[in-house]
Chains A and B, each alone.
Chain A
Amino acid sequence: MDNRLDSQPLRAGGVTVELDRSTRVAALRYFDGATASTLVRTVLGEPLPEVQRVIRSASTAGEPFILAWRGPRETWILAASEGPLERLEAACAGKDDVCLVVQTDGILGIHASGTGTPELLRRLGSFGSVPHRGEARTGRFADVAVTVLGLDDREALLLVERVYAEHLLGWVRETLLDMNGGE
């Protein structure tokens, strides 16, 4: 079985799965969510998301980004360009209560879209780990820890440690092979 990370999208069962190699990722680490939220609002114009929530930048923003709750002391920032991360990193410099850890290339995104997306997700992980729209849930998918962002009812972004991406994709590939007609 070929588990290589190739860029061809996989399509079956009403869902399209694509590797996202271009998104930049960073982890904002902090001791106190309120102070960190103030900083982020100043830099990016949005506060930190609440527990298990996602915040997407306003469509008018020049450089789009996504903020995803990861833990009481951690929020992930995803951006299509370097700008938001660079500005955050600069704002954190010299602070002793908040820091930015770049994770680009370390965390890979796998984008799933289409009517079959919920069917795919519940074959990877259990119910409580699958997010609704606007949620960020980290749970056990394909036996590895995956943070899933519910971008829409039929659209999800799976964020996984790059070293496990081939394993997750292999599981997704196997699942899609059996999903041709849906359940």
Chain B
Amino acid sequence: MSGTRLGEPYGRRIDRSRPISFMFNGRVLAGLQGDTLASALLANGVRLVGRSFKLHRPRGIFAAGIEEPTGIVDLVDGRHRTPDERATLVELVDGLAAESVNCWPSVGFDLGAVNGWFSPLLPAGFYYKTFKWPGWRPFEPAIRRMAGLGRASLERGGEVYEEISENVDLLVAGSGIAGLAAAAAAAEAGARTVLLCAGREPGGALGWRGDAEVGDLLVRARRAGVRILTRTLAFGVYDHNLVCASERLAHVPASATRRLSERLWKFRARSIVAAQGAFERPMLFPDNDRPGVMLAGAVDEYAHAYGVACGRRVVIAANCDSAYRVAESLQAAGIEVVALLDRRPSVDIGTHAAGVRAIANTGIGKVIGARSVRGCVAVPADGHSAPRLRLECDLILVAGGHAPAVHLHSQAGGRLRWLAESSMFVPDGNARGLVSVGACAGVFGREAAAQHAADVGRALALGFTVPAAPVGGASRSLASSRIAAVRGKQLVDLQNDVAVSDVELAARENYRSVEHLKRYTTTGMATDQGKTSNVNALVLMGEFTHREPAEVGTTRFRPPYSPVTFGALIGRRVGALYRPLKRLAAVEWHARHGALFEQFGNWSRPAAYPRSGESLHQAAQREALTVRRTVGLFDGSPLGKLEVWGADAARFLDLMYLGTMSTLAPGQARYGLLLNENGVIVDDGIVARVDERRFWVNTTSAGIERTAAAFEEWLQCEYTDLRVLVTPVTSRYGNATISGPKAFEVMAAAGFGAEFSPQATRHMTLHDGHWRGVPVRVLRASFTGELSYEINLPAGETEQLLQALAEGVETREGCLYGIEALEILRTEKGYLHVGTDTDGTTLPGDVGFARGIDRKAANFVGRRSLLRPAARDPQRLRLVGLAPLDGRTLLPTGAQIANAPPPTQTEGHVTSSYPSPSLGSPVALAMLARGGERLGEQVTVHHLGRRIEARVVSTPFVDPKGERLHG
């Protein structure tokens, strides 16, 4: 029997009066309120928890905290799974169900264990040398199935996440004696202080022993106003003292449809104190990964905090003095310490555990028991001399020394130095904005740690110089605990199955740098991020390459310090809030009229208005035909709108656009192309002059931010003397666009006066007026090629206008039309769509604006780039029309054009392509090398193995003379 509850006063965190029922691998077990899943499993004598990643070796619980490498489970909640949870962090609740990972059909009988038989063929880096013939693809499905540990859920659970920002004077990460001392002192000196505690209760390693001083510090801290956040782990330090922490919120029953599961904290702190303690190093010996081998400090914590005896007869493999304190502690709890095997050549006088048999210069040569420790064989440190001592035990504790948690210090840019005596890396001075205290600073004596931490807290609060850390207090520890001459796998990284032999292999194959060691062997790359393996690994690499650990160094520390749920980083940005989506003022009106909404750029807008039984495609075809035959109504509100005002507005717009705007008279409008300094088209639009110093600029729906930003950049940074003010007004105005032969008839029926008629107005003119008392700004411009009016008015009146126009549209057997129909119509006319027909290389000359460049006298953005040789290259792609030879086949958008069979240089590609309901055949636009000279030529369009013959034709396809624009 190897797991029982200890009586009072053991079990500080549990409540014996509140039993909890939970399931593990389908078996119902009992625990207590306050247990973690790990402590409850250990209390039930469950040793076998999972299988290791590569070799499927049996695995159990190894530690008690975030460094847990092997006690990994999936939590199952109905149809929802939370994969790869560390059992040491899972708070036990009623009804919890957990399953082992990486094993099939069960953890007890796992077919994957055959990997263990092949382990000599599977050393580090084996996959670089295998899976090559006949190629790696046949192996991929199998590898994918074998990779990973847990299984993710395919269903959304009810979890939601939030993000919260805060500014503080002092952020303390870690609530042990040092963290509490620093926080209390700082708050008492007036600093707004927040203390982060990763566990359920503050207090750290002394807290669960019921330490009185820690209790007092906690009271002092609270009284001084320190805000303590529990279950909150600081996982990263970023630029300018940003600390990100993840708070796991208390469990809510599975029946809840919505559960705030985790909260991301973003603290900007004037100063940061790192007080995260130190991890324990494992010992290296053969089969040191067997269930029943555990960290000494963890076993002590299970006894004191959870009242769980992880075993009844223990052997301790030690490389430091703290093992002796643990031995005494366990003895006092009634657990027999069979022997303490000290790997160090001699033990200091004074290091002594009463009643414990301690043998120096000794280690473990063999572990007996594969699924559960049953005993071990102690051997002298040289590995082969006598005596060999066989010991019966059900638990082996490893106490290899300590490794300060220097992660936050390192993330903040701090340096490290190696202490040869105690074999650990400690901070070398402070990082910018971050001070380490306590064990993570290398200060192991409790009085020294508490005093230094208090001094630091006070100094940071008052702006004084921070005292240096009194590093010391950790006992002597050997750098390496391995015994060279014994046989058997000695594991370094327990989760990824990296053994001493793998490190030796890496050294032999010349992957000597610590960064190569990591990536070649995968040591430290598992979900525990090497918290219990990194130091052992780099020390070993040093041994094999005759270097000191300091010379080998550590890999770069990057956030997160411990795994963080993706959901917490994403926060609210899911579903409809995934990204900011722009919405129409008349959205409900459109919905009532059958609009099918889709996302176009960052707008949600009607793609079409399908009638019953119609597909989107059919609706778009009908709508496009109807616009040309009678009339259509469209919501053009997404078009970008800018008010450009000032004495220099005209001059400025000449600078910005290709197309001369300064010659516009009030009421006139002109099409323009916006270029960047590379001469590339980034937007197009219509500029209309309202009066002497006011212009109304329409941009593309997707380009408004880009264009407004470009205008501001030029005005603020370059043309600072120009008196121009640019104000975006896209949201302010709604836009109803009426297009088609009967466009004005509909407007008149809705109450628009004769001053707007096609006889009284001209194409590309702007007219301000009123409609039903509402101010309107009417632009005669067309993207459909039909007589078109864009009626702009205060956004709140859009629905009213749409309703009035829709009634006239209906009586004339017109229709509402959406974006899909608009794309068909403009493609029939050969009109450019920036971003569809153009890309990041398209120059004005490529799309037919060469003459505009030469004609324009004034300078404009991008002009110089248009004079480059590449801009004048006759081989450039040019916009052309394409029609399939058979008059039927739709040319796929993006299809490549090439007259020679592949492999060959492509001559261009199809950019826009739609079936034309007006022509009864497909129309397409394409970018084609020397396109302007190839009118009438036959070309081959290639797409996924098909070849379609097409002819280069002139555009527009419909109404080539553009007569329909005038109504």
Contacts and interface: CB of A to CB of B under 8 A. Distances in A.
B166 A122 contact: yes
Contacts of B643: 101
Contacts of B727: 27, 29, 74, 101
A78 interface: no
B892 to A, nearest CB: 33
Contact of A107 (B258, B587, B723, B731): B731
Contact of B796 (A97, A105, A170, A183): A105
Contacts of B160: 174, 177-178
Interface in A11-35: 27, 29-31
A144 B583 CA distance: 14
Interface string B574-591: 011101111111011000
A160 B796 CA distance: 15
A92 to B, nearest CB: 10
Contacts, number: 110
A162 B164 contact: no
B162 A123 contact: yes
B508 interface: no
B812 interface: no
A140 to B, nearest CB: 10
Given A96-B693, A101-B727, A127 B588 contact: no
B875 interface: no
Interface in A50-77: 73-74
B580 A126 contact: no
Given A104-B794, A127-B166, A171-B572, A143 B732 contact: no
Nearest to A98: B725
Contact of B165 (A4, A125, A142, A170): A125
A136 interface: no
Given A104-B732, A123-B163, A167 B645 contact: no
Nearest to A122: B165
Interface string A131-168: 00000000000111000000000000000011111110
Nearest to A162: B731
Nearest to B249: A178
Nearest to B794: A105
Nearest to B732: A106
Contacts of B588: 4
A106 B580 contact: no
A99 B725 contact: yes
A164 B576 CA distance: 12
Nearest to A2: B576
A174 B572 contact: yes
Nearest to B725: A29
B729 interface: yes
B795 interface: yes
Nearest to B797: A105
A103 B796 CA distance: 11
B390 to A, nearest CB: 58
Given A103-B732, A163-B730, A175 B572 contact: yes
A125 B572 CA distance: 12
Interface of B: 160, 162-167, 258, 260, 266, 268, 572-573, 575-577, 579-585, 587-588, 643, 645-647, 693-694, 723, 725, 727, 729-733, 794-796
Interface of A: 1, 3-4, 27, 29-31, 73-74, 96-97, 99, 101-107, 122-123, 125-128, 142-144, 161-167, 170-171, 174-175, 177-178, 183
Given A143-B580, A163-B583, A167-B581, 19 more contacts: A3-B576, A30-B725, A99-B694, A101-B645, A101-B729, A106-B731, A123-B164, A123-B165, A126-B268, A127-B166, A142-B577, A142-B580, A143-B573, A144-B580, A161-B730, A163-B731, A167-B583, A170-B576, A174-B572
20 contacts: A103-B731, A104-B796, A105-B796, A106-B729, A106-B733, A107-B731, A122-B164, A123-B163, A123-B164, A123-B165, A127-B167, A127-B268, A142-B572, A143-B573, A143-B579, A161-B730, A161-B731, A163-B583, A167-B580, A178-B162
